[in-house]
A = this chain, B = another copy of it.
Amino acid sequence: MSQGFLALILAAGKGTRFKSDRIKVLHPLLGKSMLQLVVDSVLRLKPQKVYVVVGYQKDEIRKEVQSDKVALVHQKEQLGTAHAVMAASSVLKKDINSDVLIINADLPLVRPQTLKPLLTLHRNQRNSLTFLSAELENPTGFGRIIRSDGKIRVIEEKDASPSVKKIKEVNTGVYLFRVRDLLASLPKVSNQNKKREYYLTDVTGIMAQEGKKISSYKTPNTGEFVGVNSRYELAQAIEVLRERKIRDLTEKGVTVLDPKTTWIDLDVKIGLDTVIYPSVVIEGRSVIGRECRLYPFTHIRDSRLGSGVEILGSTMIENSVIENEARVGPFSRLRPDSIIRKKAKVGNFVEMKNTDLGRKSKAMHLSYLGDTEVKGEVNVGAGTITCNYDGKKKYKTYIDEGAFIGSGTELIAPVKIGKKAYIGAGSTITKDVSPEALAVSRSKQVEKKNWSRRNRKK
């Protein structure tokens, strides 16, 4: 037995109970597909190589698992778990002296620390086969484990006598085989059963008859072996991962005030003493710094926040960067490629897209800045709109340091506002403004006396 091992992940099923165009194992849980979660867990055990047996949507699966260590094996027809392993026999053969861990791809809750003891036991005992068993409150549907004379057997539910059915230790379907012994026994599996399928569990019996050394490791982490077969079970599995993730964050010094209403994807990182209010959603590969405060109804995706950042709630941030001590929200929307520099402020009903808001600059009310570069200490007044699109192309706006944009201003791009320039409220700016100049485009205010009396009924 070499120290290395292979892994074989069975992902060829369609998952019809999902009633989805997408195969079951590609459905995501907190930002990762079910399959990816199993691949990740297995990779953390450092196998030599991981094979994924696929049936449908091969291209989508390939996109999901992009690792040098992972290769796909195609199973043309789905004729049972043993048949899936047969499909991989030619690649397994290449490491005939190795071991192979076999696991279903619909077990997204299994953690590496749960699989690890199985490997250790298998190697220490020099077994032909070691499988993972668990003691379940409700073992219905699982194969039961019977131990006698130092031997171990699995009896399937359908073959179980009433007394066997009472046994609570079950076969979880996670196996560690010596490759040589597996490949020797595999051809002997028959499909003489109701569904005309080849079952991997039958290998257990065949090996036992042949006097191979079989053992099992009983895991205490029974909750991880719940197969996800429907969208309701998917939601339940997500719930387990969600709680795990939040617990992990709190243990690292993050305050999550209301774990039940907080949704944080698995890859999100959050710094010490950051406080997360109820009803916050953080997705993707977001990184949040230390001592931030995220207020309710905030939605962040694939963004980086520095330290001491405040997100004042009802705010949506996507693919953007927010530097230290900046403040955004409430009711702000940062679209991709926006940068909010140190101590800058974005206020309510403000949208930014591909915009760089300089240090200590402010855009506090009812504005749209698109394709705009704003230098430091600029004040963007309420109702400022960059007209970056003329129906054909997009243009850039540039606002230099210390400029003051009066409220209700349209900046028709391409346009440059000079350093410390001042734009009068209500202006439509079509030409560049010189540094320190006042620019204004405004009609005279005229008054018609007593107009209301004549014209308004109410």
Chain A positions near chain B (C-beta within 8 angstroms) = 18-22, 27, 230-232, 234-235, 238-239, 242, 246-247, 250-261, 263, 272-273, 277-279, 281, 295-297, 299, 312-314, 316, 330-331, 333, 347-349, 351, 365-368, 379, 381-383, 385, 387, 389, 391-392, 402, 404, 406-408, 410, 412, 420-422, 425-431, 433-453, 455-458
CB distance from A457 to the nearest CB of B (A): 6
A19 lies within 8 A of B253 (CB)? yes
Q: CB-CB < 8 A to A278: which residues of B?
A: 261, 263, 281
Query: Whole-angstrom distance between the alpha carbons of A349 and B351 in the complex?
Result: 9
Query: Whole-angstrom distance between the alpha carbons of A71 and B312 in the complex?
Result: 36
Q: CB-CB < 8 A to A348: which residues of B?
A: 333, 351
Q: CB-CB < 8 A to A452: which residues of B?
A: 420-422, 435-438
Query: Whole-angstrom distance between the alpha carbons of A193 and B429 in the complex?
Result: 78
Query: Whole-angstrom distance between the alpha carbons of A261 and B257 in the complex?
Result: 12
CB distance from A252 to the nearest CB of B (A): 7
Q: CB-CB < 8 A to A410: which residues of B?
A: 383, 406-408, 425-426
A447 lies within 8 A of B438 (CB)? yes
CB distance from A24 to the nearest CB of B (A): 12
B258 lies within 8 A of A230 (CB)? no
11 of the cross-chain contacts (CB-CB < 8 Å) are A231-B251, A242-B258, A277-B281, A297-B314, A316-B331, A331-B333, A349-B349, A408-B428, A437-B447, A437-B451, A438-B452
Given the contacts A351-B349, A391-B458, A254 and B231 also touching, CB distance less than 8 Å: yes
13 further contact pairs, Cβ within 8 A, besides A239-B259, A351-B365: A19-B272, A232-B250, A242-B258, A278-B281, A279-B279, A330-B333, A349-B351, A381-B385, A382-B387, A387-B406, A426-B428, A438-B452, A441-B443
CB distance from A269 to the nearest CB of B (A): 15
A451 lies within 8 A of B425 (CB)? no
B392 lies within 8 A of A19 (CB)? no
B296 lies within 8 A of A299 (CB)? yes
B22, B261, B437: the one contacting A273 at CB < 8 Å is: B22
Given the contacts A387-B406, A410-B425, A231 and B260 also touching, CB distance less than 8 Å: no
Q: CB-CB < 8 A to A450: which residues of B?
A: 436-437
B257 lies within 8 A of A238 (CB)? yes
A235 lies within 8 A of B252 (CB)? no
B250 lies within 8 A of A230 (CB)? yes
Q: CB-CB < 8 A to A234: which residues of B?
A: 250, 255
CB distance from A421 to the nearest CB of B (A): 7
Residue of B nearest to A299 (CB): B296
Q: CB-CB < 8 A to A436: which residues of B?
A: 449-453
Residue of B nearest to A421 (CB): B452
Q: CB-CB < 8 A to A272: which residues of B?
A: 19-20
B255 lies within 8 A of A27 (CB)? yes
A366 lies within 8 A of B385 (CB)? yes
B379 lies within 8 A of A391 (CB)? yes
B232, B253, B408: the one contacting A385 at CB < 8 Å is: B408
Given the contacts A20-B273, A349-B349, A445 and B451 also touching, CB distance less than 8 Å: no
B437 lies within 8 A of A448 (CB)? yes
Given the contacts A297-B279, A299-B296, A449 and B420 also touching, CB distance less than 8 Å: no
CB distance from A215 to the nearest CB of B (A): 32
CB distance from A324 to the nearest CB of B (A): 16
Q: CB-CB < 8 A to A259: which residues of B?
A: 235, 239
Residue of B nearest to A424 (CB): B428
Q: CB-CB < 8 A to A297: which residues of B?
A: 279, 296-297, 299, 314
CB distance from A48 to the nearest CB of B (A): 36
Query: Whole-angstrom distance between the alpha carbons of A420 and B391 in the complex?
Result: 11
A235 lies within 8 A of B257 (CB)? yes
B232 lies within 8 A of A251 (CB)? yes
Q: CB-CB < 8 A to A427: which residues of B?
A: 426, 445
